[in-house]
Structure 1
Amino acid sequence: MTKSRLEAFSDGVLAIIITIMVLELHTPQGHEWSGLLKVWPTLLAYVLSFIYIGIYWNNHHHLMLTVRRINGTVLWANLHLLFWLSLFPFVSGWAGESRFAAVPMTCYAGVALMAALAYTLLSVAIIRADSENHLLADAMGNDLKGRVSMAAYLIAIATPLLGQVGVLISGGLLMLVALMWLIPDRRIEAVLAREHPS
């Protein structure tokens, strides 16, 4: 199977996820700066979630550049990833409206962890789907950034239960992981450059 429908469907779903998130934003009461300050948690949660969805879209695009052929397992692994990404509007809205209460923050970090695991499973499914997908296998190598991200998510899941300081640590870790992944996976770019030197 070719990857074109998978890419088109994924792009469409990610665009819908972002649309849902922005539609969940409500305008502040009144016309003063103080009204905007009252909704800052919702705006902050939206910005963080938008960045996460953007990171996944960007890295998914890079991932697909390494793919030659897919199979049914890859299609299901991709749907598994999209499922977890589709929960970002829910946990983002909950975290913002609760002003970053412990349980919503734990759930937000849990969704972030599951999306990262789903992305890893998608990568493995692509490698196993066909020997022509060797570029991704070549690029995977030592995934230190991925392992650090998983550890940060696990800590971010647990720390909100320790109180307000734990919530701050959790939020800081989620932001840190997002900053780590703002630049697309350079391992893939390096392998593509070696395969197709210009």
Structure 2
Amino acid sequence: MGKNRLEAFSDGVLAIIITIMVLEMKVPHGSDWQTLQTLIPVFFSYVLSFVYVGIYWNNHHHLLHAVKHVSASVLWANLHLLFWLSLLPFVTGWMGENHFASAPTALYGGVLLMAGLAYWILVHCIITTEGKDSLVAKAVGKDAKGLISVVIYAAAIPIAFFHVVPALLAYLIVTFIWLVPDRRIEKTLLENGHS
């Protein structure tokens, strides 16, 4: 099975997720700058989630560029990833509206953790489908970035119940780890004569 429909569907879902997140930012009543100050937590949570969706979109694009065939397990693994990402608008809104209270911040980390695990599952379903000598298998290797990200999320969730700031910093650290697109796939494609 080809990958074009999977990629197009995923792109559409991610675009809808971003749209829902921005629509959750309600226009304040009032016309002065002080009115906007109440939106700072909502805006910050939106920016953080927008960056996360952008990171997933970018890396998903690179990942699928290296894929030749899509199996049923890859389709389901991709839907699993999209499910967790589709929860981002809810946890983003809850966290922002409640000014980064402990429970919403921990749940936000829980969704990030599950999305990270879902991406790992997707990658490994692709490797199982295409074989251990596939471009994805060569590019991903031991996937230290993915493992480190999941460990940071898992550590940040309980921390959020005691101190929200370190948990938020942990989420930011993961964005910096992934902000630059995963060059491993690009590099492997170029080394193997693909453009």
TM range (shorter): over 0.9
In structure 1, C-alpha distance between the alignment counterparts of 2:39 and 2:155, rounded to whole Å? 27
Residue type of the alignment partner of 2:173: L
Three-state SS of the structure 1 residue aligned to 2:134 is helix
In structure 1, C-alpha distance between the alignment counterparts of 2:97 and 2:35, rounded to whole Å? 15
User: Paired residue for 1:175?
Assistant: 172
Three-state SS of the structure 2 residue aligned to 1:99 is coil
In structure 1, C-alpha distance between the alignment counterparts of 2:19 and 2:183, rounded to whole Å? 28
* TM-score, normalization by structure 2: 0.96
* TM-score, normalization by structure 1: 0.95
Q: Is the Cα contact below 8 Å between 1:68 and 1:133 reproduced in 2? A: no
Runs (4 or more) in structure 1 with deviation over 4 Å come to none
In structure 1, C-alpha distance between the alignment counterparts of 2:15 and 2:194, rounded to whole Å? 32
Residue type of the alignment partner of 1:12: G
In structure 1, C-alpha distance between the alignment counterparts of 2:144 and 2:26, rounded to whole Å? 39
User: Paired residue for 1:116?
Assistant: 116
Give the CA RMSD over aligned residues.
Answer: 1.4
**Following superposition of structure 1 onto structure 2, how do residues 56-95 of structure 1 map, counting pairs within 5 Å?**
56-95=56-95
In structure 2, C-alpha distance between the alignment counterparts of 1:30 and 1:49, rounded to whole Å? 26
Q: Is the Cα contact below 8 Å between 1:66 and 1:133 reproduced in 2? A: no
User: Paired residue for 1:189?
Assistant: 186
Structure 2 unaligned spans of 5+: none
Identity across aligned pairs (percent)? 53
**Following superposition of structure 1 onto structure 2, how do residues 13-28 of structure 1 map, counting pairs within 5 Å?**
13-28=13-28
Q: Is the Cα contact below 8 Å between 2:74 and 2:126 reproduced in 1? A: yes
Q: Is the Cα contact below 8 Å between 2:131 and 2:137 reproduced in 1? A: no
User: Paired residue for 1:54?
Assistant: 54
**How many angstroms does 1:132 deviate by?**
9.3
In structure 2, C-alpha distance between the alignment counterparts of 1:130 and 1:80, rounded to whole Å? 19
In structure 2, C-alpha distance between the alignment counterparts of 1:33 and 1:179, rounded to whole Å? 31
What is the total number of aligned residue pairs between the two structures?
Answer: 195
